[in-house]
Structure 1
């Protein structure tokens, strides 16, 4: 039903090493943002195929407790009777993990790269996740991670995406978190399009509007502060 990407990035903030984590997902069903993507300052997880929301919730919780992503997600899968129908992947502070059960819908598979994972099921083919991975790898690190993750979804969608073209109502979501102590999180770091015929395109437009809105708010309150 889905393809998604999870990433970890290291960056410097005032001389301190920080990490950002992000996850983006799209599917040919409504409301994917309520079920599949999970993120915190400790990692990012996507649960899909026959979704078990607890795998995502507990996954990021276990990462917050200090477990390695492989240990956390593998333990959750091994305790799950529905493991053959699950697809679960993600990144933690120092590792990556991806699993696709044998009973996920064709085509299904996953890909693990340096600091990221991509997975999908019921896709037109392997090129979908390969395109998403390539778009992320080639992205401009000066741009916000949320934008680059949406671009990765767009690249996968352009390769065919979810093969169920008889389902018109679709959805997409992106979430980003960081270890940085920020005064407030950017508006565009948690966005969802719950029901649309063009969810990735609409998510990109939502990102643009959220970015403009944030700039407007910052300018407004900067002017009021000066006055």
Structure 2
């Protein structure tokens, strides 16, 4: 499966108790179904996206290596060096301190990547370089916005999609996904909208946004309901 374009980000923030935390996010879309099962990986240690001619082990093992304390550049470079299909892979990601992005020379045009201070964007089979440039610019323009990271990741994908996205217009069944994790210890009340997938649709960005908005509304309803019950007790 050849996966198209994605973004990985790292953001530092202060939680409600004044503690320093880091959140990691990854989002992806392609003109094929089920991208959420193959490309995006995240944990409290970082975010990784594996694409072009996908090797899912690069994502799975990449996250495992980050959990073992290996720096993202060392972890992903080591995995690529052991991969016979390296020339056809794209692999990128972030951890608490670093970034990494790789595009093999046998990826399909247009392909490439950009690396920012706290993010990476990569894509292949694109209409042009503007897809990843606009994805990166959209994220950068609102990197410190008040909206949840999941929402801002969708905005970034939307910008790349608007710039042309995947060039395979003959493939109408598409998909999109996002995943957000944090270093916060207490994940009991983790938002339901931080792990979302749209597996088969002709309008992946619009459907991912609608899924996000519905999940966010449901999450807020649950918080309100249980807050009321707690007050009653």
Same fold (TM over 0.5): yes
Q: Distance in 2 between matches of 1:39 and 1:141?
A: 21
The alpha carbon displacement at 1:185 in A equals 1.0
| Partner of residue 15, structure 1 | 18
Q: Distance in 1 between matches of 2:77 and 2:119?
A: 17
The alpha carbon displacement at 1:15 in A equals 2.2
Match of 1:58 among 58, 61, 84: 61
Q: Distance in 1 between matches of 2:12 and 2:192?
A: 21
Q: Distance in 2 between matches of 1:181 and 1:145?
A: 18
Cα RMSD (Å) of the superposition? 0.8
1:41-97 per-residue CA deviation (whole Å, 9 max, x = no partner) reads: 000000000000000000011001001100000000000000000000000110000
The alpha carbon displacement at 1:17 in A equals 1.1
The alpha carbon displacement at 1:12 in A equals 1.1
Match of 2:45 among 42, 55, 60: 42
| TM-score when normalising by structure 1 | 0.98
The alpha carbon displacement at 1:225 in A equals 2.4
Aligned length: 227
1:152-197 per-residue CA deviation (whole Å, 9 max, x = no partner) reads: 0000000000000000000000000000123321000000000000
Match of 2:106 among 96, 103, 106: 103
Match of 1:123 among 111, 122, 126: 126
| TM-score when normalising by structure 2 | 0.96
Three-state SS of the structure 1 residue aligned to 2:199 is: strand
The alpha carbon displacement at 1:223 in A equals 1.9
Select between 50-59 and 181-190 the one with higher mean Cα deviation: 181-190
The alpha carbon displacement at 1:151 in A equals 0.4
Match of 2:220 among 183, 202, 215: 215
Three-state SS of the structure 2 residue aligned to 1:216 is: helix
What is the correspondence of 1:23-172 to structure 2 with a 5 Å cutoff? Answer: 23-139=26-142, 140-172=144-176
| Partner of residue 6, structure 1 | 8
Q: Any gaps of 5 or more consecutive residues in structure 1? A: none
Q: Distance in 2 between matches of 1:78 and 1:158?
A: 35
Asked if 1:186 is matched to 2:191, the reply is yes
Q: Distance in 1 between matches of 2:150 and 2:120?
A: 16
Q: Distance in 2 between matches of 1:126 and 1:175?
A: 25
Three-state SS of the structure 2 residue aligned to 1:106 is: coil
